[in-house]
Amino acid sequence: MLEIKDLWVALNGTQILKGVSLTVGRGEIHSVMGPNGSGKSTLSRALAGHPSLEIISGSILFDGKNLLEMAAEERARAGLFLAYQYPVEIPGLGNSEFLRMAYNAKRVAEGKEELDAMEFEDILDEKMGLLGMDSKFRERGVNEGFSGGEKKKNEILQMAVLDPKLAILDEIDSGLDIDALKVVAEGVNSLMTKDKSLILITHYQRLLDYIRPDYVHVLSDGRIVKSGGPELAHSLEAEGYDAISAGAVR
Amino acid sequence: MWDGGNAKRYLGKGGGNVKEEANVETGLIEALDARREYKYGFTTDIESDVFAKGLSEDVVRAISAKKEEPDWLLQFRLEAYRKWIKMPQPDWAQLRIEPIDFNDISYYSSPKSKKKLGSLEDVPQEIRDTFDKLGISLQEQKRISNVAVDAVFDSVSVATTHKRRLLEAGVIFCSISEAVKEYPELVKKYLGSVVPPGDNFYAALNSAVFSDGSFVYVPPNTIPPMELSTYFRINTEGTGQFERTLIICAEKSQVSYIEGCTAPQFDTNQLHAAIVELVAMDDASIKYSTVQNWYPGDPETGKGGIYNFVVKRGKCAGRNSKISWTQIETGSAITWKYPSCILQGDGSTGEFYSVALTTGRQQADTGTKMIHIGKNTRSLIIAKGIAADRASNAYRGLVKMLPGASGARNYTQCDSLLIGDKSSAHTFPYIEVANPTAQVEHEASTSKINEEQLFYLQQRGVSREQAISAVINGFCKEVFNHLPMEFSVEARKLLALKLENSVA
């Protein structure tokens, strides 16, 4: 599904990622953990194609395609989805209008007909029901005045509507209380099938109690310094990032 | 929230000036020259009767004679002209205006026609084709049946549709020239009653030389069976367009009126100096919407384009009357206008919803004046300014609470959006409060089009162009929502088209 090889990425002239390699297979859930400043968010933004990042070297294959040659919107239409740590507000743009715009962009890319507002409503109803979301989310501006929890839920709603092959959840747990975290995690779990892949970017092990990863990677100073199974997250929690990173270097 | 004291302190500085230069990552902005086309820049080849350039008392008399006007109207014009020649050109706006030679303008241009103009059946084919090309059909059966249109070509109204159907409902809708002949008492009573001939430089000029425009009278207890509209087309190079619109809405009546405008692409600047006067009686409501797309001039050199210097003012004469202005200003080299409301009747309401978009080298200094005279009067101002490329955009607004305006309220919100690092936005709010029970509220913001917003949309599969359009439309939503449905769609498209080249 995703194959990152020796990826070097800079932001404003500062080297952030220093040779990241990561392979995510179909149906797999990977967790990338690491302390603040380790490059977690840069990795997710590089995958999504943020224009401010400079790709120095390396390669990324997504579903057999060269991701680095694709614009952000092409990556999205090919089935790559990034749930934001800080979802952006777009005042005045209705949430359902936005969702339909995104949904139709994907349909057109797949050679299908666009859906009109009425047809799309049915899809939206179903997905919102699935996530137990209030219908007020429909007409409000995209993330406009949403609470932290509502914004995260709205990210998962977008994921549900767009049905990506690979979703990258960037600190989806940050700013959520335990109840909201459960709802978001259940939502994500309900969307996962055996041919969908997931990358969970997180600082804390807490999220992994609700979404069980198959693999855990530790990112430190722009490199993956350790990889393992779910048990690695637990030892991280017990020993801290410093010990794990130091151990890896030793 | 300001009380009177705070407002005065604020005013003491002579109005605020918020200036912010955009500073967006260079990656965001790339001027694309390739598709900078003004869709309506064509010229219609038709023989016209054009006055020689220049302005004098004789020219004023000649216009009046051409239109076979009664003496009172000639005197009205002459009085205005005599005032005008003594007035200096105003220069207080945040605008760079090339000196205007008022003797280098022709003040009258009318298409030549064997038959008398103004009748729907006899419109010359070239003009019919012109309006077709602009998307305005003069065939009544083809017209979207709920909009009547008065078509103004250079200095004359060439046709008005659905006149008969409107008249059956008691609604008068015709050119102002026809109104002078058919309904002289109404015209005489109200012409100049809201904008006096000597009000200001351009008002005096218009009052002296106005050639045509639209007239609407809605009798008491009436709602017209359709929307009314005027489409203004300037065609001949070197002419000015000086139209005059007068709308009177009697007790307990309502009217919705829309105007649109385009002009050919010439290297010379052309002056458009109009006057619009609205009068609303007790419990009457007038909704006036404008989609302005005059030729903006060359986006690189700034050469050519329309000088859109317009005086628009409405009087809420009656109790609980309402006047609502909505304007989408996207064209013209320079836009200089302040659609205003005089809130005379107790409990009357004035509204101003505005989107002003400037790109290329365009300049705009626009806003409103809300003059609260009566008790418990209300006004609402929502102004959105968008500046891209090397354009500048200023909001200028006056909220004035007179001593009698007890319990009056105003709320103003003006937001500016900057695209690129060479555009600029300015806000000049003036607040004068002379009644301690009046309340004035003002909110303002300036922001840049945000790369993170665009990226967020793109990450969901939306193209960059569509993302820009979605962000801009979101920014303008409160204003678009006040346009009649089909014009709202048009306005969105127009903005998207104009911005396509400004954000690469």
Contacts of A91 in chain B (CB under 8 A): 474-475
Higher pLDDT, B262 or B468: B468
In A96-214, where do the E strands start and end? 141-142, 166-170, 197-202
User: Taking CB atoms and an 8 Å limit, are B471 and A162 in contact across chains?
Assistant: no
Residue B116 lies in a domain: yes
Whether CATH 3.40.50.1110 fits A2-87+149-249: no
Q: What Rg, from alpha-carbon coordinates, does chain A have?
A: 18
Tell whether the model's pLDDT for residue B283 goes beyond 50.
Answer: yes
- Share of residues in chain A with pLDDT > 70 (%): 98
- Share of residues in chain B with pLDDT > 90 (%): 51
Q: Which of residues 173-232 of A touch B (CB under 8 A)?
A: none
Residue B169 lies in a domain: yes
Q: Closest partner residue to A106 among B461, B464, B477, by Cβ?
A: B461
Contacts of A52 in chain B (CB under 8 A): 25, 27, 451
Residue B304 lies in a domain: no
Burial letters for B56-89: b for 16+ Cβ neighbours within 10 Å, e otherwise?
eeebbeebbebbebeeebbebbbbbbebbeeeee
Coil, helix or strand for B246?
strand
> A100 in contact with B at a CB cutoff of 8 Å?
no
The span from the first CA to the last CA of chain B, in angstroms, equals 40
Residue B464 lies in a domain: no
**Residue B12 — pLDDT band, cuts 50, 70, 90?**
very low
Residue B236 lies in a domain: yes
> A146 in contact with B at a CB cutoff of 8 Å?
no
Higher pLDDT, B353 or B306: B353
State the pTM of this model: 0.82
- Cα separation, A127 vs A161, whole angstroms: 7
Query: pLDDT tens for residues B261-274?
Result: 777 677 778 888 99
Residue B87 lies in a domain: yes
Contacts of A73 in chain B (CB under 8 A): 458-459, 461-464
Residue B78 lies in a domain: yes
Range of the structural domain that residue B222 is part of: 42-120+129-138+157-262
Tell whether the model's pLDDT for residue B9 goes beyond 50.
Answer: no
User: Where do we find the tokens 């051409």?
Assistant: B66
Quote the pLDDT of residue A6. 96
Residue B489 lies in a domain: no
Q: Closest partner residue to B474 among A50, A87, A90, by Cβ?
A: A90
User: Taking CB atoms and an 8 Å limit, are B463 and A101 in contact across chains?
Assistant: no
Shortest Cα–Cα distance, A84 to chain B (Å): 9
Quote the pLDDT of residue B194. 97
Distances from the Cα of A154 to the Cα of A95, A96, A146, angstroms: 9, 11, 9
How many inter-chain contacts (A to B, CB under 8 Å) are there? Answer: 81
ipTM: 0.94
Please report which residue ranges of B287-343 form alpha helices under DSSP H: none
Quote the pLDDT of residue B448. 84
Query: pLDDT tens for residues B338-369?
Result: 999 999 999 999 999 999 999 889 999 999 99
Quote the pLDDT of residue B19. 30
Q: Closest partner residue to B458 among A73, A109, A162, by Cβ?
A: A73
> B457 in contact with A at a CB cutoff of 8 Å?
yes
Q: Which residue of A has its CA nearest to B456?
A: A88
Quote the pLDDT of residue A161. 95
Quote the pLDDT of residue B36. 46
Cβ partners under 8 Å of residue A176, min gap 6: A148, A149, A152, A184
Domain range annotation of chain A: 2-87+149-249
User: Taking CB atoms and an 8 Å limit, are A52 and B475 in contact across chains?
Assistant: no
Shortest Cα–Cα distance, A106 to chain B (Å): 6
Q: Closest partner residue to B452 among A76, A88, A158, by Cβ?
A: A88
Quote the pLDDT of residue A121. 92
Domain count, chain B: 1
